[in-house]
Amino acid sequence: MASPRLLLLSNSRNVGQGYLEHAAPHLTAFLGRGVQRLLFVPYAAVRVSCDEFSEMVAQRFAELGYAIDPIHKARSPKQALRAAEAVVVGGGNTFQLLATLHAKGLVEAIRDRVRGGAPYVGWSAGANVACPTVKTTNDMPIVEPKSLKATGLVRFQINPHYLDVHPQGHGGETREERLLEYIAANPGMFVVGLREGSILQVENGAIALLGEKSARLFLHGRAPWEVGPKGDLAFLMRPAPRP
């Protein structure tokens, strides 16, 4: 079994930049030229159709030199996954995505294909479903998945679009407080607060933080801490110490 290769993006669009523009050099470096066709999973789409979502993604990846095959058009999604050169999972609503993957029996199929050697690219909701569960998504549960368990391609949780901001006049919980609640209820799990423009690359058993921003790390029993792009994230590949 191959060591999984993953490129996990916090977001698809930075302010002032085009769709996936900030990630373009990382996408081409990660996917390389040995891959030509990418199987795209558009099931996180809610207010646009899977066709519309796939067309937008296909246009962007064509500019990078890759062709997109939308999984929702495949006669057999499971067979399409077994044959996929690479798997790309787009953002949107995490619960919509996971509910559809469970309904079609694709959670295990994605896990098997990526563990079998296919590179995995996911942004926002697509990064969430690479984790053991989707419990650290920011999304509203507009639908109810069969389970909150996801592919478990990594052993830690991600919070995409992580924000430090506490808006003036807002008396509710901050993002940090929500994640502190999660680790209190789930001791022994790491959470990576992944800020906009940041990317986690998992390859050869190592993890690199790409981009210019630090990530905020959470683990029950210690105060949240920052890790920069040159910081050591290898500990995320190992079981977290239990308090």
| Residues tagged active-site | 124, 139, 161
Q: Which amino acid is at 89?
A: V
- What CA–CA distance (Å, rounded) separates 50 from 44? 8
Where does the chain have alpha helices with state H?
24-31, 50-64, 77-83, 94-103, 107-115, 125-128, 175-185
For the beta carbon of residue 100, count every other beta carbon within 10 angstroms.
Answer: 20
Tell me how far apart the alpha carbons of residues 199 and 66 are, in angstroms, rounded to a whole number: 20
What's the N-to-C CA distance of the chain in angstroms?
32
> Could you tell me the strand order of the sheet in which 222-227 lies?
157-159, 191-193, 215-219, 222-227
Q: Enumerate the β-bridge partners of residue 209.
A: 200
Cβ atoms of residues 55 and 23 within 8 Å? no
